[in-house]
Chain A
């Protein structure tokens, strides 16, 4: 790294812009950080401009804060950043096309395995990842799986969206539990007791890509079942899968009726209306209850991590959000500078707070962020990045794992058995065949 001198700062066009704009909270510190750490290696190219395509926000304050952060980056570096929003489902097809034709936004911010669909088309961001990892206490294991390919970093996993248990405290206590169940056996008892007390819960079994996929994968993995092994061979037809299905059936029999039709939004509505007393979701129900001043629900609800199954370790499945830069970008350094800027404490901390636990950090040092202690009900989300398993679990995190999720293979297997449409064997066979279809041929 070159030594920072006053002269080198003035010579840099970017830094020159920063000198004039040292006012403003994040910008001042960033200019310093940029000068000290990054100005030499990721000095944005003269006249650089970036376009970033991201998923549409779920929490308004998160987006507002993100846009303020982007504005600060522009202030500090002079690099104009245009942010384009797309619905979550559309980010992947757009990024794939852009990667293939070699034109489009410079940066994409998408889901799970996005960078692994076209690793050769992405700029190597190992230097950024190493710099951040070293400075902020290291990356959580799942971030390394999502971010790395062939020994180098191809994306920066900038955050996670925790999918946790949401429950009403009074209903839990009435069911005879002092704390939320920690094991799958306890959880089944809890499920039965809440049903008996007429305070049932439920989890989505319709084509709900977020909540539905989260809970059925948790269940499958908790009992040791897997769609594929480490070599991407389909191994869903196993006694473990059958056990997971039997367990899910018992849960389903004690759910509120109608969960087979639920998509991602149904449980939010039902929870807020007092129709259900526990479900799996992000922290958005809590945020909505606060925003709508439903104080009785705000006071009476809390969040918990998922119960652990017979495998003896957490088998949660949270959403990961990797940020990647395309090789075709004319401004690779500006792209890297943006990634680094986003994850620097001065900027990231504030963004994390404004995301009110909707986003969880991938870097260990951010465990200290005040958002995890200011409201005890959000604390559980601090650990979701550490606990989550990755898409495809034992297998690769690439395109085929993404397709299996998009095609609801595991979700439909659970739904068809628990709703009585198929036998255990029948539902597993259908899923096996679907998986073999996706996992055939080239990766």
Chain B
């Protein structure tokens, strides 16, 4: 048969050499890469480029409207000895740590409550979302009034009840201001966690609980051995998001205190904005923003490796 094939080929004309390009065009392994290209271009243009540009700016003395020159680590050296910067790092860690833990605890508790059968279930679930739906600036302004040194309804009520004699200095005292902003963040963040965890809870098959009940498991045992393990993937995702959002919070602080009093509530994000945009020292602002990246990466890695990659989730045994 071979000579027949050769004869047919000869009739068609000489064979064109197969180029590398031809292979790339038809290779199935490369096809996937071609399909990914638009998405990759999108990510590079809108995510990677701005991020890298930000990192680059942190090594320059750029000001708004002036390109700036490469200054190496100078911005970081100044920040290293800058007490305001370290205050903002402390504030950010405190703000994120305390708010995230409490948001998680309250959110989980709320999700478990909402997962029960009760009258007006749909309406109640919708109502829980309200703090999340209200634009941050609006809720921040509401808190601004609640925390006002002269007009706070909280102070007024407590005074009427005779519990305090002078108004509470919510935003004027260093620690009061920190707790007040953390509380406002918790109030705003709980619904997101509660509703997401509720969605996770509803994917757990009731038959597991039925089997456990037959085996005589108590409520805590059911939570510990059924609810919690099955919820961990979604907890990992939701807490990663929550930590990232809290760490990079801006609006709430900006409306309530602008970082005051005496920088006691300045987060890294607000300090970065103040120095880069209002102070026009772009390079230094970028350095503060870049300094947030290691913390954010750490937060992602902890939640990912700590919660997500359990062996049982990949078909192995959990130990």
Contacts and interface: CB of A to CB of B under 8 A. Distances in A.
Interface of A: 89, 92-93, 95-100, 117-118, 205-207, 256-263, 266, 269-270, 273, 275-276, 399, 402-403, 406-408, 412, 415-416, 419, 421, 430, 433-434, 437-438, 441-442
Interface centre among A260, A275, A402 (most CB of B within 10 A): A260
Contacts of B257: 206-207, 261, 263
Nearest to B168: A258
A225 B317 CA distance: 71
Contacts of A207: 257-260
Contacts, number: 130
Interface centre among A206, A256, A421, A434 (most CB of B within 10 A): A206
A206 B275 CA distance: 17
Given A93-B280, A257-B166, A266-B149, A437 B260 contact: no
A424 to B, nearest CB: 15
B263 interface: yes
* Minimum-distance CB pairs A-B, first 7: A258-B149, A96-B65, A261-B171, A261-B172, A207-B258, A100-B65, A406-B278
Given A257-B166, A261-B147, A403-B279, 5 more contacts: A96-B64, A97-B64, A206-B260, A207-B260, A430-B83
Contact of A269 (B151, B172, B281): B151
Contacts of B82: 433-434, 437
Interface string B260-291: 11110000000000110111110010000000
Interface centre among B147, B259, B260, B263 (most CB of A within 10 A): B260
Given A96-B64, A207-B257, A421-B174, A257 B262 contact: no
Contact of A421 (B63, B167, B262): B262
12 contacts: A257-B166, A258-B172, A260-B261, A261-B170, A261-B171, A261-B261, A403-B275, A406-B274, A406-B279, A421-B262, A433-B82, A438-B279
B255 to A, nearest CB: 9
A438 B280 contact: no
Interface residues on B, range: 35 or more
Interface of B: 61, 63-67, 78, 81-84, 147-151, 166-167, 169-174, 177, 257-263, 274-275, 277-281, 284
A258 B167 contact: yes
Contacts of A266: 148-150
Given A261-B261, A438-B281, A117 B149 contact: no
Given A269-B151, A430-B84, A433-B82, A260 B260 contact: yes
Contact of B150 (A92, A97, A275, A430): A275
